[in-house]
């Protein structure tokens, strides 16, 4: 069905109860299954309209358009087309990934527990997606909302990045001008609780480093199975992990296997886990959430580290980049 979805886009939109003003388009993300399971539809109201409208403009620098086309193996959810005919209504027609999002798979009461090698593969594919938008798109893109619910999984649990609604294009900084009085000052911040870079919250400056912070939090989720922001007590995972992160970054401390295993998701089969791989993943997470942001690695540096130090990635054929 995906092979003919672009051609049949108007029919899918009609079945979703919308009057079509249809245009096919390349890659992006979000997730609501429709049309028998091979497509998904994102409805966009007034908040989503500027993104849809900018995609429609010739020569637009909309993030949706900038990641379009190219290698279909790239780990970014494919945008098949969009619908937009009024101030109130709009929709994006997207590739459907049947395993849902990473947050659901890690934190729901599902009987299926993601094995370790799938978790490191998900981290690797996610940082490849970030590397693509940071370093290979022209102009470059800052996603602005890297989190586990924006990582979708296909039938084989390969991951794809979605939802560029908070993305910033090119030289991405947004600081409220000082000439505006404090009373009238208003900045629309992006990101999600538990994933948002504290430096961004303090300054309003959006950069690639804020995406790497969000990636670091997702890596901690993958290792621990804990939520970025606990629904029970409101505790942030970065705060729970802080003592271990400090030990990881302190070269004078030899991290014990017990400390590492104590942070692991207890649902995973321990015998199938390489502790050295866990230490590598913890080291990546610690660097990605470190402060100041200048200490954080780039996505390409993390990609190289994972290729070199995570043998579990061999089943992906990961010596070649997607």
Active-site residue set? 145
Residue 296, token pair as written in the block = 């954080």
Integer Cα distance of 282 and 288 in angstroms: 10
Give the residue carrying structure tokens 């061999």. 314
Could you give the CA distance from residue 161 to residue 152 in angstroms, rounded to a whole number? 6
Strand 90-95 to 79-84 pairing: antiparallel
Question: CB atoms < 10 A from the CB of 319, how many?
Answer: 8
Q: What is the DSSP letter of 134?
A: I
Would you say 114 and 101 are in contact if contact means Cβ atoms under 8 Å apart? no
For CA atoms 12, 13, 14, 17, the dihedral sign is: positive
CB 238 within 8 A of CB 246: no
């Amino acid at each position: 069905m995906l092979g003919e979805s672009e051609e049949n886009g108007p029919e899918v939109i009609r079945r979703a109860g919308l009057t079509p003003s249809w245009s096919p388009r390349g890659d992006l993300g979000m997730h609501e299954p429709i049309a028998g399971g091979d497509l998904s539809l994102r409805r966009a109201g007034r908040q989503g309209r500027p993104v849809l409208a900018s995609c429609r403009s010739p020569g637009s620098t909309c993030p949706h358009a900038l990641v379009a086309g190219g290698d279909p193996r790239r780990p970014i959810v494919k945008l098949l087309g969009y619908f937009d005919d009024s101030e109130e209504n709009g929709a994006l027609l997207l590739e459907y990934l049947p395993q849902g999002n990473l947050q659901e798979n890690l934190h729901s009461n599902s009987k299926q527990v993601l094995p370790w090698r799938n978790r490191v593969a998900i981290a690797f594919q996610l940082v490849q997606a970030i590397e693509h938008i940071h370093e290979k798109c022209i102009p470059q893109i800052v996603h602005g909302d890297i989190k586990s619910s924006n990582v979708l999984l296909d039938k084989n649990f390969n991951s794809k990045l979605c939802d560029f609604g908070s993305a910033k294009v090119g030289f991405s900084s947004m600081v409220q001008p000082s000439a505006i009085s404090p009373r009238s000052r208003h900045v629309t911040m992006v990101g999600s609780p538990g994933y948002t870079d504290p430096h961004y919250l303090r300054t309003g400056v959006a950069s690639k480093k804020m995406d790497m912070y969000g990636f670091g939090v997702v890596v901690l989720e993958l290792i621990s199975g804990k939520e970025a922001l606990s629904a029970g007590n409101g505790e942030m995972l970065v705060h729970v992990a802080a003592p271990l992160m400090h030990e990881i970054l302190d070269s004078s401390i030899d991290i014990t296997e017990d400390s590492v295993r104590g942070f692991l998701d207890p649902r995973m089969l321990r015998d199938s886990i390489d502790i050295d791989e866990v230490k590598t993943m913890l080291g990546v997470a610690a660097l990605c959430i470190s402060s100041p942001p200048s200490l954080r690695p780039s996505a390409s540096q993390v990609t190289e580290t994972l290729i070199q130090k995570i043998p579990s990635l061999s089943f992906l054929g990961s010596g070649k980049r997607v």
